[in-house]
Structure 1
Amino acid sequence: MSTDTDVSLSSYDEDQGSKLIRKAKEAPFVPIGMAGFAAIVAYGLYKLKSRGNTKMSVHLIHMRVAAQGFVVGAMTLGMGYSMYREFWAKPKP
């Protein structure tokens, strides 16, 4: 029993690396936000031993706020870039 319709969607044929690259080209500030988040968390964990007499909970809260702030900033810049590209930079017919 053969079918004449060959359903081959490109999204199902992609591996994870090419899908991430395609999504990064569509929204370039998402990987920037993810990388910044990872960098801030890594730096906060590195500085965990030398936090002085600051409580661990306060240190973790500061680290979380910094990481969230970076991600929200990247999302805001990405949204502004997307709006600029869609409304102002688009050539008028």
Structure 2
Amino acid sequence: MSRGEEPIYSEYETDTSQTSKLIRKFKETPFVPIGMAGFVAVVGYGLYKLKHRGNLKLSLHLIHMRVAAQGFVVGAITCGVLYSVLQDYVLKPKQ
């Protein structure tokens, strides 16, 4: 890089700690941590209910738990995409 040029990703290079990078990413895409937290919550609840599943087979219980966790993550991703489209195209001030 020559002296007169600025780096293309200067705002990304200034963050040196992993925590600041993580916080910046969470601010850019707020539905990612929501999806991760929901996934952990569904899996935790499923593991808690594992003892009280009744006559339900273990494999069927695990399949239900996996589908519920994946559904929560897909729902969070969909909400994030809709939020991004809303911010970029609907609420964006016209120039």
TM over 0.5: yes
Q: Alignment length, in residue pairs?
A: 86
1:10 paired with 2:23, answer no
Measured after TM superposition, the shift of residue 77 of structure 1 is 0.5
CA distance in structure 2 between the partners assigned to 1:23 and 1:31 by the alignment = 10
Where does the alignment leave 5 or more consecutive residues of structure 1 unmatched?
none
Q: String of CA shifts for 1:32-53, please: whole Å, max 9, x gaps.
A: 0000000000000011001111
CA RMSD of aligned residues (A): 1.6
Matched, 1:40 2:17: no
Deviations 1:13-33 (A, max 9, x none): 1x2222111100000000000
Normalized against structure 1, the TM-score is what? 0.86
Map 1:1-93 → 2, pairs under 5 A: 9-11=13-15, 13=16, 15-93=17-95
